[in-house]
Structure formats: structure tokens, C-alpha cells
Amino acid sequence: MNKSVRYTSSPLLASKTPVWRSKLIVGGIALAFLGLACRAAYVQVFGNDFFQRQGEVRFARTLELPASRGRILDRNGLILASSVPAPSIWAIPEDVEASAEQLAALATLLDMPLAELTKKLANEDKSFVWIRRQVDDPVAQKISALGIKGIYQRKEYKRQYPEGATAAHVVGFTNVEDRGQDGIELRFNKDLSGRAGSRRVIKDRLGRVVEDVGEQVPPMDGKDIQLSLDSKVQFVAYQKLRDAVLRHKAKAGSVVVLDTITGEVLALANYPSYEPNKRQNLSGEQLRNRALTDTFEPGSTMKPITVGMALEAGRITPKTTIETGPGRFNIGGFTINDTHNYGTLTVEGVIQKSSNVGSLKIAQKMTPREMWDTYTALGYGQKPQIQFPGAVTGRLRPWKTWRPVEQATMSYGYGLSASLFQMAHSYTSFAHDGEIIATTMLKSSEPAVGVKVFSPENARAIRQMLQMAAAPGGTAPLAQTVGYSVGGKSGTARKQVGKGYASNKYRAWFTGMAPIESPRIIVAVMIDEPSDGNYYGGIAAAPVFSEVVQQTLRMMGVQPDMSVKPQIVTPAVVESF
């Protein structure tokens, strides 16, 4: 039988507890509950934003929804650059669970050594690692079928360039982040890129999406850019240029084709080139857009401009006679030579025979300021206004610093520098009846607005002289083509090395137009360092001009203006330097 507890018999229980102690305990408990209530109120109400953000940092993610980059098209709508799905493979190393066979299969699909793949997955401290960026979609599907835990894919796009090396210098390329790095891809990167969308989600610790939160912002795909370039003309220009560079054992070459009505760039080709789809081990020699970035002394192609400015000033006429004998001229302690003693020539003959002495004597009828004004009006010494990165300015010193010998040498293209594109652009003043027109890399159906430099009569007179220069008896009869009349000017110049000129390194070029009575296109060709012995512009560059002109005009539907095949002969004389 249990005995009842007698409180009076227990000294501890029988002792009287102070009232303040019990109140203190009760008060402490009440304060604790009050503190918890305040904390709960702070967490749930007053400080809710902070804790909400902390929770989102740990579990909520904003996923970027990539936009598809816009296409680059030629003038006929043919694709020059487009984006195709190319998922990127990534992993959470600490979560990867795969058998040896699965890892070997993954390495094979990625075309990656197994040791390299194992090394990427070895560091378990990493919560994210790229395995391979932008794989082909079929490969990504096979990787997904392996079912390896911890291996994931991210949707991305990869650029494809169907025209390859042919149009590489125009189109350019993007990096792995799909940002433009060169050419049109760089110049119009903002328009092509579009705007990425977003998706707000809740993820678990394994990175899996368990819930969508908020509204999804859809991506806005980039705009398409349609160029003035004609893929067929570009292919012909590149092919003929490549053949000439290889045939003459040259270092490089460039071709520019302009529409004389709209100012559109129909072709801009360089060799050597590169494959934008495969850019491993590229060099600056391959990447350089020489037609726009390389400058050189234009040489004899400046002689028609010298004659044009003197005609415009009323100092000469096409039939004015110039004494060039005995084939040399002393000025300022320097001797300027022709390749032959041409004796007395008309102004037309100065262009036909490419006489340096004749050119400088015509220039002496002008002031330096008059020459400088014409050069600048034609775009020399100025950066080309074209939608393309990397175009250079060239060099044209202020007229006040010219010495008499420098004024003389500039008359035949020494002492100033320009790119091949600038040379082609300046010739629009002859082709467009005295007006120099704006050029564009974008398709345009409107006639270009020109700025008057020469009168229509003087422009036509220059075209007739250019026709004589490209005909038998001139310096470039190899520029003649079947069915179309042509005119143009060849040039050959020693390359500058240090403060002097190399004795065995040359640039050869030819700039001309066709048909000559009503020009439709301008074609400029440059061959850099031909080393087979044929380094004159009339031999190395003029045949490329001929082939490009003939095929381009036919593709454009321009009717032939000649019913007989012109006589093509080897030039009896060569142009002066």
C-alpha cells in the first residue's frame, strides 16, 4: 500500500517559496513567448522581403531563354550566315554517377580524350563545369540517351556559314557566346543578336526545375540583315582572284566590285581567306580584310584623276600636247623616268601610255591646294563611309607641306596611300558622270545620290582615255573582254620597306569599269607581291578584271555593247612606276 505524501514531513516541500521567484519565472516565460511572437512577426511581416530574397537566392533561378541570332542574307535572299541549335553540355561533378562504359561513350560522342573528360569531372568541389560548348543536335540527343546522372544540357545556337571562305571577310564570325567578332557579324551585332527572354523557376538542390514562378518573358529573335553582296558575283571574284594569286605565286590579293548606279558593294573578296566554320590556328594573314585594311601608294591609277582635275580647271583639253622626251625629268634634285621615251603625247596619250613625265607636267599646271581639294573630294585621306568595321583612312598630307617634287610624284600615285576600296570608290566619279556616290554594304534599290567633282563632259572624256589604256596600244589590253567595252587603268608600284622601296617586291592592280559608254560596274583588282616575273598590273591584275567583268555583267543581265570579239594582244609596253 502506497503511503500518501506528507508535505509537512519534507523539509524542502514544507519550505515557503518566495512569491517574487514564481513571478520571475512566469515573467521570463512570458517574455520568451513575446520575443518569439515579435520574431515571428518580423520574419512573417516586417522583414519578409529580406527572407524572401534569401530563399530565392538558394532555390529560385532566372533562366535565360536565348534568342536566335538573325540571318545574314545576300541581295537575292541566299543565306550567308544562320544559327542552328547546338546544345552545350555541362555537369555538376559531385553529382555525376556513371559507369566506365558510359564515360567512354560520352567521351567518344564529344570527340574528347577520356582522360580530359575524367579530369573535368574529378573536382567534386565544383558545382558547375562546362564539358563541351555547342555540340551538334544529333550528338546532344545521343548524350541525353546515355542517361548519366549529373550531366545536363543548355540550349544554345551555333553559326553556320554556307559560303565558307568565299565570303568570310565580308560576313565575319561570332565567338562561342554568339557575339559578333568581325565583319558584318560585328558591325550589326546589336540588330542580329535580338533580346534574350527569361523564365523564373524554383530548383531543387540537384538543379532540377520543380516549379515555375512569375511570368515568362519570351525571347525576341534577332533581325535579318540583307547585304548588297551577290553570292554568285562574290564566288566568281574569289575564284578568279585565288587562281591569279596562285598562278603568279603572289602573297595575297583583293577584288572589289561596285554597282555604279546604287553604290552597292556586289563583291569584296580577299585571298588568302579562311573557313569561318573552322577557325582553329588562324593567322592575321588569313583574317585581314585587305581590300579595306591594307593601304598602298596607288601608282598609275591616280593619273586619270590628275588629268581630270586639270580638265576641270580648264588648264588642258584631251588633245593638248605634252612633251615627255627624252623620257625623264629632273625636279628638286630627283630624276623622274618613263619606261620609254614617248616624245610628244596628247593628254589622251599620257593616259594610254601611262607617262610619269606627262602626268607631272600636267600637275605643274595645278596648285597643291587644287590637287588636295580634288583628292579629298574623291575620298582620299578620309575613312570610307561604309557599314563595315576596320576600314582605314589612308594617308594624304596637308597641301601646305608639299614640296615641288612631292606634288610631281603625287600626280602619278606616289607620296599618298589608299586602300583598294578607296581606289574603286574614287572611280565612281568617272562612271557616274562626274559625281562620286556613296557606297553601301546593304541592299538598296534606289539610285545613289552623288556629289559633283567633275563635269559630265570631262568624266566622259576620262572614260574614253581609260578605254584607250585598256585597248591594244595601251598598257592593259588583257583587260579586254568578250561582248563588253571596258576601260581602266593599271598600276604597278614597288612596295615600301622601311624608309625606302624594295627592289623586288611589287603590288600590281587594275581599276576599271564596263560598259564604257554607260558603266554598270566598277571592278578593282590588287595582286600583292607576284613573284613569277609578271608583276605589272596590266599582266597580273588586268586578266582578273576581264574575267570578273564578263561574268558579272552577264549575271546582271546587262546587254553586250560589242558585237565582235576584241583583239587581245600582249602589251608592247608596260606602265611606268
In the chain, where the domains are located: 60-81+155-227, 231-555
Whether 468 contacts 283, CB under 8 Å: no
Q: Is 300 a catalytic residue?
A: yes
CATH architecture of 231-555: 3-Layer(aba) Sandwich (3.40)
pLDDT at 463: 97
pLDDT at 76: 95
Q: What is the pLDDT of residue 160?
A: 92
pLDDT reported for residue 572: 45
Which portions of the chain are predicted below pLDDT 50?
Answer: 1, 566-567, 571-573
Q: Give the pLDDT score at 14.
A: 62
Q: What is the pLDDT of residue 59?
A: 62
The C-alpha cell 516565460 sits at: 29
Dihedral angle, C-alpha 347, 419, 531, 269, nearest 10 °: -110
Could you tell me whether strands 252-259 and 88-91 are parallel, antiparallel, or unpaired per DSSP bridges? unpaired
Q: What is the pLDDT of residue 285?
A: 79
Partners of 220 in the beta sheet? 195
**Which amino acid makes up residue 498?**
G
Fill in the DSSP letter of residue 7: G
pTM over 0.85: no
The pLDDT assigned to 282 comes to: 74
pLDDT of residue 201: 62
Common-topology check for domains 60-81+155-227 and 231-555: no
Query: Would you state the torsion angle of the CA atoms of residues 311, 315, 316, 320, taken in this order, to the nearest 10 degrees?
Result: -170
Q: How far apart are CA 348 and CA 354, in angstroms?
A: 10
Give the model's pLDDT for residue 157.
84
Say if CB 332 and CB 405 are below 8 A apart: yes
Neighbours of 444 (CB within 10 A): 17
Which one from 88, 300, 354, 576 is the annotated catalytic residue? Answer: 300
Instruction: Please list the alpha-helical segments (H only) found in 11-99.
Output: 11-14, 19-41, 48-59
**CATH code for the structural domain at 60-81+155-227:** 3.90.1310.10
* Cell numbers that stand for 523 in this block: 571592278
